[in-house]
Structure formats: structure tokens, C-alpha cells
Amino acid sequence: MKLIFPPGLQEFIDATGTVYLPDATGVLDIGTALADPFIAAGFVALPDRAGSTANRPTIGVAPGLMFFDVTLNRPIWRNAANSGWADHTGAAI
């Protein structure tokens, strides 16, 4: 699971004293089983950038997020209202 570091946070120390640092893009890659304390501390899960229509992300999305829909075999984007997906013309997908 990939997590985005909260703004202003440069490291995260868990209950065991393990220090976690982001990569150069501000992302931390951890196992799914470890995610709960990170989410509680304000981290946001980075959604997968490709998948089937049925697996389009719904958490951690924002307007303009690009997702490659392998069912449609084309890229789509999160709409401006952050309520659905649109193609390159702005039409709802």
C-alpha cells in the first residue's frame, strides 16, 4: 500500500520506535497490514492508477486524478465535482 505523507510531516515514528521516511515524491510504501496507525496519523492511501471499471478508486481521489480503466482500455479522470469519472471530452464515464 502506498501512502502520501501529510503536509509538513518529514518522518513518522510508530509505537515500536521504527522511523519511516517518505521517498523523493513524498510517498511511503508499506504493507497493508501496517496501514491503520498511519491512516490514524493523517496519511492518505494513494489509489492504484490502473484497474478495471469495477475497481476504480473511491478513497483518496481528487479532481483531475487520472486512472487507466483496463476494461475500457483508456484513461479517465476524476471529474471537477469529485463525484465521478470523465473521459477526455468531459463526458461522464
- Residues 63, 79 within the same domain: yes
- DSSP codes joined into one string, 25-71: TSEEE--GGGHHHHHHTT-EEPPPSEE-GGG---SS--TT-EEEETT
Examine residue 59 and state whether it is found in any structural domain, yes or no: yes
**Whole-model pTM?**
0.57
Examine residue 21 and state whether it is found in any structural domain, yes or no: yes
Mean pLDDT value across residues 54-69: 88
Question: How many separate domains does the chain show?
Answer: 2
Say yes or no to pLDDT of 59 above 80. no
- Residues 58, 77 within the same domain: yes
pLDDT of the residue at 2: 81
Q: What is the pLDDT of residues 1-53, one digit of tens each?
A: 788 888 888 899 988 999 999 988 788 888 776 788 888 888 887 777 888 99
Examine residue 92 and state whether it is found in any structural domain, yes or no: no
Question: Residue 16 belongs to what domain range?
Answer: 2-45
